[in-house]
Chains A and B, each alone.
Chain A
Amino acid sequence: MIWDAVIQPFADFGFMRRALLGCVAISLGATPVGVFLMLRRMSLTGDAMAHAILPGAAVGYLVAGLSLGAMTIGGMIAGMAVALLSGFVTRATALREDASLAAFYLISLALGVLIVSTRGSNVDLMHVLFGTVLALDDAALILLCSLASLSVVTLALLFRPLVLECADPQLLRSVSGLSAVTHFVFLALVVISLVGSFQALGTLMAVGIMILPAAAARFWATGIGGLLIAAVAVAILASLSGLLLSYHYSLPSGPAIILVAGLAYGVSLVFGPAGGLVARALPRRHLEA
């Protein structure tokens, strides 16, 4: 029974194994970045950046056809340009980061939709918007695993400055010269994570696997280590469950994965011990000497 429902799809079909590995790579590489986005109160920044990579991917498609490398490089250039420009405007002018990012991502999104709708077909548009997690080939998997490896090693190296910037950016700025470097490397990690995720889940849902597990984990853990572990666990379980639901009930796999992550968020919101609705409703123990 369990073999038929859970193991057999992955044992029998290579495309299911590839989809699972792609989702695990995204969970390991992109979800921890989502945790830091949440801690820095930049959850919507991820969504903005997901839209910002669209024109680069579209130009990559126009130049080289449905080439993974060209679309990735294009998306990375567009995302980095928006991240760097909005970061520069924030540091050089009176405009705050949310406003400068919103301005650049809206321009980028409009440009991307213009390019895709005037030069591509509806199928291309659907591919870019919703991804193709069940059609990941070797090249796509190598790209996803490479980006996840880069993200994991960079996060391990910059862990302390990143945590310090979440908790007290002024302190980081005063005790080291790493503030600006950390900020730009973090934005680069956001772009890299989105470019990897959009191959599988599309630009519209790429940010879902970054933010929803992070938001769910917030109700189960309070320390940064616990948050990272819980978020990655939720992302991997959502990927596995979403792929199995997609296989057994012929559902589109990307939305199934994100909806399972959304369900995990809903359950955590109600039953999570760290600030969930039930935990808040129950009377708390008084502290004793």
Chain B
Amino acid sequence: MTSWRPTLRLLLLGAGPRLAGAAAIVALLWLGFVWATSSPGAP
């Protein structure tokens, strides 16, 4: 018999730091996009 409480606990335990880390990685990646597409130099 499964219920949503253990499922939610499984998903949410430690999710905050992991999502914060993921957000930081995504932000750095898009900063890299700005660097790669707008820096001077030959195309």
- Chain A interfacial positions (CB closer than 8 Å to B): 11-15, 17-18, 20-21, 24-25, 28, 138, 141-142, 145, 148-149, 152-153, 155-161, 164, 174-178
Contacts and interface: CB of A to CB of B under 8 A. Distances in A.
B10 A176 contact: yes
A14 B14 CA distance: 40
A17 B36 contact: yes
Contacts of B30: 145, 149
A20 B36 CA distance: 8
A28 B32 CA distance: 12
B10 A178 contact: yes
A36 B31 CA distance: 27
Contact of B29 (A12, A25, A157, A177): A25
B2 A14 contact: no
B15 to A, nearest CB: 7
Contacts of B35: 17, 21
Interface size bucket, B side? 20 to 34
A9 B35 CA distance: 15
Interface string B8-42: 00110111001101110110011011011101011
Contact of A148 (B23, B29, B42): B29
B39 A14 contact: yes
Contacts of A153: 19, 22-23, 26
Given A18-B37, A138-B37, A141-B37, A177 B2 contact: yes
A17 to B, nearest CB: 4
Contacts of A149: 26, 29-30
Nearest to A13: B42
A176 B4 CA distance: 7
A178 B11 contact: yes
Most buried by A among B13, B15, B21, B22: B22
